Every structure is written in C-alpha cells, then in structure tokens.
Amino acid sequence: MRHIYITAQSCVAGMLLTEDICTKEGACLIPKGTLITEELEKKVKRFRLKPIEVEIYDDSILVEEIKGFEKNINKRTMSDELTKSYADAKQEVKEILDSINSGKLLDVRNVDHALENIKENVHDSFDVLKCIDSIRTVDEYTYAHCVNVSLLAMTLAKWLGMNDTEVEEIAKTGLLHDVGKAKVNAELLNKKARLVSDELEEMKKHSTYGYRMIENMQDISKGIKMGVLMHHERMDGTGYPMGAKDNQIHKYARVLAIADVYDAMTSDKVYSKRKSVFEVLRYMQDEMANLLDRAMLNVFVERIVCHYIGDYVMLNTGEIGELIHVNPIYPLKPIVRVQNIFVDLYYEKDLELSDLLWDYSKYMY
C-alpha cells in the first residue's frame, strides 16, 4: 500500500481517496474513503484542484507522486507559540478599538504591549508570511488586518534597509493605521455589500479620525502620525485625505500603503472573497504601479515571491509545479518545474502563476 499525493489529472481507477474532494465553496464533490472507478476518474480529471491524497493498493498502478507536498504544508504551519502570540495580538487590537468605541482615550501602552506580544515569537519574514497565510475569518478581519499590516510593513521596512527605529515605528504605525475606524459607524464596517458613494466618503474619514486621536500625544512620533493620516494617499495624487503625491507622502505611509493593499486583497471580507497571492501581486504591479511607491513595490513583490521557492504552485492551465527560481527583473515570471520539465514563464507568455496550493479556499474546478 502506498499513501501519496498526486495531481487530479493523474488519478486512475483503483485508487482510494483519503481526503474529501471539495469545490472552492467547500461543497464535497467526492468523500474520502471512495474507491475511484473509471467513471469517477473522468469526473476528477475535469477539476482543477490542489494535489489530492490517495492510497494505492495495486502495485501495477504507476503514477507520478508529488514529492514533498506534505512537507511543504507543514513548513507553513505556525508554531503553538506563534499561533498564541498572533491570537493575543489580535485580541489586544480588538480591546483597543472597543475601548475607543466606548468613549475612552487611546492608551499607547496597550499598543506597545500588542506589538511586543507579536514580535516576541516572530523571528523572521517566514514567520510573518505564516501569519498572513493562516486561516482567517471574516468577523475578525478588522483586528487581524491591523496585526498583518504591522507585520508586513515591518518586514518591508527591513527589506528596504531602514534603521531599527524606523522599523519599530513603522510596525507601530501598522497597528494604529485603522484605529480611526473605531469612530466609523459599525453598520458601514460590517456591511455585506460594497459601499455607495456617501458611505464611502464617510469610511474615508477613518484616516483623519485616527490622526486626530494621536496628533497631540507626545510619545508618538511625527512619522507615526503621518503614517496613520496618509496611508491611503497615492503617488499620483488620487488618494485621500489630502491628495498628496510622490514625496509629499511620508515614507512610513508609502510602506503602509503597500502592506495595507496586499493584506486587504488577500483576505476574506464581508463583501468579497480573498484573491490569491499571485493575483494580488500581479494586480499591484500592473494596475497600481503609478499609485504605490514603485521602488518599494518592486522589492516587496520580488521578496514575497522568493519566499515561496520550493513550494508547489498552480499555473493558469491547472498544471501543478514546484517554484524553482525567481527572475529578479520579472519575479512573477519564475521558473517552475512541472513533471520534471523546467518551464520558464518569462518565455512562456501564455502561462502565469495562479495560486499557492495550501490556499484551500481557492480550489478551481
């Protein structure tokens, strides 16, 4: 008996499923424990799925195993310590926002404690991405988003070679960047549809609300205050609240803008499903190049993609491969090994990265 992972296209009659095959909405197509028949084999091969787990009892069945897939999933598993500190940080952010919502003033000591809580067990950028890639629920989005943006912004600041003080302050700005949402009507924050014009204008005030909360606090630096105020400004002047452009936008805010967009688009929200890492990075690079700091964005995209070297990815054709090498000039056009063939996406113009295989919410069929 062999217990292996295979592609859906490699499935043949005689295999036993050892996990459910589900749609991206979570509906079970074929339950685990099912013996694959010739009819089911045809059905499975019509779907574009993550690798499926099977048992093979007949040694005459020859199929290519996806080696290391289970190992790669485990590599992304958060340690108990990191899981706890991440959860604690989200809870502290919730308590901070709830306190403000009840009419109390912001206590910076609580922010500092939340920051130390998460940093204590985040040892490198791999830990950061474990947090960002972890399963997130819609009802905790606001709190997780603050923690995620803090971690991502802190990591990007390190990648950009900023000094320790700047890295620390950018991390704190990330925790505080949406604090003004505590002053926004809760119905708007939880609305299950996109906001209409007047609602959107009210939501846009959160950056100003947040700045007003901290503008007179002596123990918060000017950079942090500007980061909170300006994290929705855009390089071409189309952002808010001031319409600042280029270097008029504080450096902290330019870092925060990248982290904010990335986490928002890769998260489930009440009105939209998360997009895949590669879809978001491609959108940021293609559609937001004139809106975000381009030099910072280039570093961010390359370093994020590099973190997934050795992991399995899905291409837009449904094929599965291992990400082998990242082109530093065109990071979203890496070399991928597909069934022992090295495919350079830079030269294969019709191929592109579609998804990471441990993102279970994004099954394609």
Q: What is the CATH number of the domain that holds 194?
A: 1.10.3210.10
Shared domain for 100 and 150, answered yes or no, is yes
Shared domain for 166 and 263, answered yes or no, is yes
Phi, psi of 48 (to 5 degrees): -100, 105
Number of neighbours of residue 210 by Cβ within 10 angstroms: 25
- Cα–Cα distance for residue pair 4/12, rounded to 1 Å: 13
35 in helix, strand or coil? Answer: strand
Residue 362: the pLDDT is 39
Total count of domains within the chain: 3
Residue 292: the pLDDT is 98
Expressed in percent and rounded to 5, the helix, strand and coil fractions of the chain are 50, 10, 40
CA dihedral (37, 43, 46, 48) positive or negative: negative
Tens-of-pLDDT digits for all 365 residues of the chain? 678 888 777 888 888 888 877 765 566 778 888 888 888 888 877 765 667 888 888 777 877 777 766 666 666 677 778 888 888 888 888 888 888 888 888 888 888 888 887 777 777 777 788 777 765 666 677 888 999 999 999 999 999 999 999 999 999 999 999 999 988 888 888 787 888 899 899 999 999 999 999 999 988 999 999 999 999 999 999 999 999 999 999 999 999 999 999 999 998 877 778 898 999 999 999 999 999 999 999 999 999 999 888 888 999 988 888 899 999 899 999 999 988 899 999 999 999 999 887 643 333 33
Residue 152: the pLDDT is 94
Q: β-strands 15-17, 52-56: how paired?
A: antiparallel
Which value, to the nearest 10 degrees, does the dihedral of the CA atoms of residues 273, 276, 279, 284 take?
Answer: 80
Shared domain for 175 and 198, answered yes or no, is yes
- Asked if the structure places residue 14 within a domain, the reply is yes
Shared domain for 51 and 123, answered yes or no, is no
- Asked if the structure places residue 291 within a domain, the reply is no
Residue 138: the pLDDT is 60
Residue 151: the pLDDT is 92
- Cα–Cα distance for residue pair 153/56, rounded to 1 Å: 46
- Asked if the structure places residue 299 within a domain, the reply is no
Which value, to the nearest 10 degrees, does the dihedral of the CA atoms of residues 271, 277, 279, 283 take?
Answer: 90
Amino acid, single-letter form, for residue 98: D
Burial of 80 (0-12, 13-18, 19+ CB in 10 A): exposed
Residue 336: the pLDDT is 94
- Cα–Cα distance for residue pair 361/276, rounded to 1 Å: 9
Which value, to the nearest 10 degrees, does the dihedral of the CA atoms of residues 206, 112, 262, 343 take?
Answer: 180
- The residues facing 3 across adjacent strands are 55
Q: Report which of 147, 162, 142, 5 is spatially closest to residue 85, judged by C-alpha positions.
A: 147
Q: Report which of 5, 233, 192, 248 is spatially closest to residue 17, judged by C-alpha positions.
A: 5
- Asked if the structure places residue 293 within a domain, the reply is no
- Asked if the structure places residue 136 within a domain, the reply is yes
Domain that holds residue 57: 2-67
Shared domain for 63 and 81, answered yes or no, is no
